[in-house]
Amino acid sequence: MNKKEILDKFSADPQRYYKVNLFEDQGFERKSCKTCNRFFWTLDSERSNCPDHSDDTYSFIGEPPTSKRFDYTQSWKEVESFFVKNNHTSINRYPVVCRWRDDLYFTIASIVDFQRVMGSKVTFEFPANPLVVPQTCLRFKDLENVGVTGRHFSSFCMIGQHSIPNENGYWKDDCINLDFNLLTQQFGIDKKEITFVEDVWEGGGSFGSSLEYFVRGLELGNAVFTEFQGDLSNYKTLDQRIIDMGAGLERFAWITMGTPTAYDCCFGPITEKLIQDAGLDVNSSILVPYFTEIAKNLELYDDLSQVRKNAIKSTGLSDEQINRIITPLEGIYLIIDHIRTLIFAISDGALPSNVGGGYNLRIMLRRIISTMNRLKLKFDLNEIIDIQIDYLKNTYPELENTREDVKEIISIEASRYDSSKQRMQKIVSKLDKEPNVTDLIRLYESDGVTPEYLKEMKVISEIPSTFYAKLSDLHQSKKQKEQLNLPLEGISDTELLFYGDDPREFNAKVLKSFENFVVLDKTAFYARGGGQEPDHGKIGDCEIVDITKHGNIVVHEIKGNIPKEGNTVSCKVDSKRREGITKNHTSTHIINTSARNVLGSWIWQHSAFKEEDHARLDITHHSALTDEDVVKIEQAANGIIEKSIPVKIENFDRGTAEQKYGFRIYQGGVVPVKSVRIVSIGDLDIEACGGTHVANTSDVEQIKITRTKRIQDGVVRIEFVSGDGAKEFVKKKQHDSESKEKEDKLREQEKEKRLEQRQLAKERIPVIAKSLLECKQGTVTIDNITMELAESGKANFCYSISDDYDDVFHIGLGEKLCKEDPKLVYCGLFEQGGKVRVIVYAGEEISKEKSAGEIVKKISQVLGGAGGGSPKFAQGGGTDKSKKEDAIKNAKSMIIQ
Ligand SMILES: [Zn+2]
Ligand SMILES: [Zn+2]
């Protein structure tokens, strides 16, 4: 089933699918476009083409069709007051980081706010009916268009008008009536200017008709009526029909202002300021025709550079005018747009990184900086952020709370980009050909080199139009969960006792047993889930190995003789293990909120793991934690324990919980159930969580952070222990540090003693030398120094391998002995810095035959090293401490045979 087939079918029966009361009442005429045959409805009898093919396309630029002028802020006020006047509830925007869906990183349309995915089914969660919402939406597919086309944004405000047709809501007739009145009454647009075009919508197994409404070729909104499910030959009306009218607020502002681009009227005073700062001479007599041509050509060509070329050609702009006015202006628009998107994303807790949705934010910031560098624009990013938030907070007051956080993250990220430039330069210098799209993606993915940088360095002249779309696809891929296939058909849901009385001992009936698995009618054993490890314990005589949840059925994996189906078994939970895990689980909540308070609003739980004796929490953070951060987080966490705050657990309808507590509740990810379990620690931390928790923070007793580590870009791991584990950790640490202190002291004492001895030895050199020289034959040992005289009387050998002596001693003694006895060779071996060193002296006479250098060479070889020197003095050494005796034997054999 494709859109074209549905459109053909619906347009063949316009009475049923498209004709609304308004068309009848006002006398709208249905026509088929002379160029493309699309059907449209108009009050203008002259009109014969659809909005895409009319002559008046984009003629509002420079000449708006309204008597009123509204900028972005004012346009929303107009829209809001109109719908509120007409019985709609105006609700605040939802976060742009789409935490309630695990298939989307960012909110891409207003209807996404209300969609909840359960299994393969999409359900809706409307906080009011009917309602209107100014939903900021992020879209990264057309990044290369931003700043250039006059109407593409990386984020925009979708006016969401939503209704469920029941006693409160309405359906097609009222919807189109309202939209028509909004344009004519509130915005002062002549009704003859409004064209409705027939279209259809299809997705997720449902479909319906839609009416797009245009003024002077600009699509302002699209009212989608999600109505049917099935296929075209056999479809039925949905139980829950929904109106999904989405309109672009930026376009509403643009049509009333008639500025050359939508950027000129949607960013507030920042645009004018940057144009002035850059010293641009913008002249509407150039901009109006240029951007009108761009807008018209965009409908005709896919290739943006072709669109730009055509517009330049048909407006007759010179290269000088393009370089002096248009190019820098495009850059300024891009910078403002991208910063606005970063403000929303960072405020809602997203961080620039290389993973997941974070990559989009990183690439935008790099585009901002590259654009400034390329155009030699020197803007103060903090100032731009301030001016933008000052303007945006008229519509989105919550942005005030994160003003400083946004600045901090952007400045960290900007300096990271600066410091990575040298590396990028090296990589770029090695390129031997102009990179194609695949090369560009590889360069970005593996080396962080952005195409903007390559453009800045003039390696490429244009960024290929498919680059961002391809990169975006690469990062949108969904996580696939592996599903175990167990024979569980027909088994009823397990009653979960741990959410009730939570007994440690209970009896249960075996509903199913197979292989090593048992399913009971009820269980108090907690199943692995939400990062919490499963309980242990006994079912009958069998030890539990693992527990998993499949839908609402708990499956116990056991060791031993499996019980028979139908039997009643007595069960016992390992309470010590449970208690440890429970304390660690509540601790993750405490640490999470402590980290957020210490570090900043961007801290979210990335993932968590809770075992009996240890646990970890991975948080979203831009840098590794400093020792000071860790101390502060630990202090804050223990402060929460000391305050003895009750931990409250309540069940809420999901929609109610979201409205009451916001999306911070989804720390552990999406909750795919209608009713959510809210665990709150006072008002400090409120999370949707299915785990086990202590009743009061004081039950945790103590939290100790044992280690932290940056585990990936934008994610930091905090490992910790709590309760008894924390006490043991503290005890062990204290014990460790005490015994280390003792050891250190002992080592210090030994060192001092040795130094003292060595000092004494030096002073005794003359005495020792005198005693040794008194030996006239044979061997004598004094103070671990041995003197051996050759029988021939031609050579004397003196040596020491004692650790009592150092180099100063050996040099002193060797020199003295050889001076007194010209036939003497002295060898001193001693350990120093993990190595064995050797010093050799040879007397005047003997050195002529037995060179000190040769002797050292030999000794060093034996020790596994090298050395050398003159005939009278040499030194060397090696690493093999076990060979000291061998080395001396070798030396001796060289001197006295
Ligand atoms: Zn047409
Ligand atoms: Zn939890």
CB 842 within 8 A of CB 792: no
CA of 255 to the centre of ligand 1 (A): 21
Percent of the residues in the chain that have a pLDDT greater than 70, as a whole number: 98
CA of 649 to the centre of ligand 2 (A): 11
Between residues 473 and 676, the one the model is more confident about: 676
CB 136 within 8 A of CB 246: no
- Which ligand approaches the C-alpha of residue 607 most closely? 2
CA of 147 to the centre of ligand 2 (A): 43
- Which ligand approaches the C-alpha of residue 214 most closely? 1
CA of 692 to the centre of ligand 2 (A): 8
- 591-644 pLDDT, tens digit per residue, is 999 999 999 999 999 999 999 999 999 999 999 999 999 999 999 999 999 999
CB 797 within 8 A of CB 821: no
- Which ligand approaches the C-alpha of residue 36 most closely? 1
Q: Mean pLDDT across the stretch 30-56?
A: 93
Q: Which pLDDT score, from 0 to 100, does residue 475 have?
A: 63
pLDDT of residue 476 exceeding 60: no
CA of 91 to the centre of ligand 2 (A): 29
CA of 788 to the centre of ligand 2 (A): 79
CA of 242 to the centre of ligand 2 (A): 34
Alpha-carbon torsion, ordered 574, 576, 582, 585, to 10 deg = -110
Which pTM does this prediction carry? Answer: 0.79
One-letter amino acid at 803 equals: D
Q: Which residues fall within 8 angstroms of residue 588, CB to CB, at 6 or more apart?
A: 531, 605, 608, 610, 615, 617
CA of 54 to the centre of ligand 1 (A): 8
CA of 719 to the centre of ligand 2 (A): 16
CA of 531 to the centre of ligand 2 (A): 8
Q: Which residues surround ligand 2, an ion (CB under 5 A)?
A: 689, 691
Q: Which pLDDT score, from 0 to 100, does residue 104 have?
A: 86
- 720-751 pLDDT, tens digit per residue, is 999 999 999 999 989 999 999 999 999 999 88
Residue 98, classed as helix, strand or coil, is coil
CA of 582 to the centre of ligand 2 (A): 10
CA of 36 to the centre of ligand 1 (A): 4
Angle at 620 between CA 615 and CA 621, to 5 degrees: 110
CA of 390 to the centre of ligand 1 (A): 42
Q: Which residues fall within 8 angstroms of residue 212, CB to CB, at 6 or more apart?
A: 196, 197, 199, 219, 221, 222, 223
CB 523 within 8 A of CB 484: no
Angle at 425 between CA 423 and CA 429, to 5 degrees: 120
pLDDT of residue 440 exceeding 70: yes
The position carrying tokens 């009218």 is 245
- Which ligand approaches the C-alpha of residue 649 most closely? 2
- 413-437 pLDDT, tens digit per residue, is 999 888 888 888 888 888 888 888 8
Between residues 162 and 282, the one the model is more confident about: 162
CA of 165 to the centre of ligand 2 (A): 38
CB 549 within 8 A of CB 527: yes
Q: What is the DSSP letter of 341?
A: H
- 120-147 pLDDT, tens digit per residue, is 778 888 999 999 999 999 998 888 899 9
CA of 852 to the centre of ligand 2 (A): 75
Q: How, if at all, do strands 568-573 and 505-514 pair? A: antiparallel
Q: How, if at all, do strands 131-138 and 89-90 pair? A: parallel
- 834-868 pLDDT, tens digit per residue, is 899 999 999 999 999 889 999 999 999 999 999 99
CA of 292 to the centre of ligand 1 (A): 19
CA of 505 to the centre of ligand 2 (A): 24
Q: Which pLDDT score, from 0 to 100, does residue 479 have?
A: 40
Q: Which pLDDT score, from 0 to 100, does residue 482 have?
A: 45
Q: Which helix (H) or strand (E) segment is 705 a member of?
A: strand 703-712
CA of 667 to the centre of ligand 2 (A): 8
Q: Which of these, 753, 721, 695, lies nearest to 638 by C-alpha position?
A: 721
One-letter amino acid at 95 equals: P
Distance CA 386, CA 366 (A): 20
- Which ligand approaches the C-alpha of residue 582 most closely? 2
Q: Which pLDDT score, from 0 to 100, does residue 484 have?
A: 58
Q: Which pLDDT score, from 0 to 100, does residue 704 have?
A: 96
One-letter amino acid at 827 equals: C
CA of 645 to the centre of ligand 2 (A): 16
Q: Which pLDDT score, from 0 to 100, does residue 530 have?
A: 84
Angle at 168 between CA 163 and CA 172, to 5 degrees: 45
CA of 585 to the centre of ligand 2 (A): 6
pLDDT of residue 480 exceeding 50: no
Output the DSSP codes for 524-536: -SPPSBTTBPPP-
The tokens describing 458, both together, are 């003039």
CA of 58 to the centre of ligand 1 (A): 15
Q: Mean pLDDT across the stretch 680-695?
A: 94
CA of 669 to the centre of ligand 2 (A): 10
Distance CA 782, CA 780 (A): 7
CA of 49 to the centre of ligand 1 (A): 5
CA of 79 to the centre of ligand 1 (A): 29
Residue 198, classed as helix, strand or coil, is strand
pLDDT of residue 478 exceeding 60: no
Across 81-85, 120-124, 495-499, 770-774, least confident range: 120-124
User: What is the overall mean pLDDT for the chain?
Assistant: 91
- 162-202 pLDDT, tens digit per residue, is 999 999 999 999 999 999 999 999 999 999 999 999 999 99
Q: Which residues surround ligand 1, an ion (CB under 5 A)?
A: 33, 35-36, 50, 52-53
Between residues 773 and 479, the one the model is more confident about: 773
Exposure of 691 by Cβ count < 10 A (0-12 exposed, 13-18 middle, 19+ buried)?
Answer: buried
CA of 213 to the centre of ligand 1 (A): 14
Phi/psi of residue 679, nearest 5 degrees: -105, 115
CA of 57 to the centre of ligand 1 (A): 11
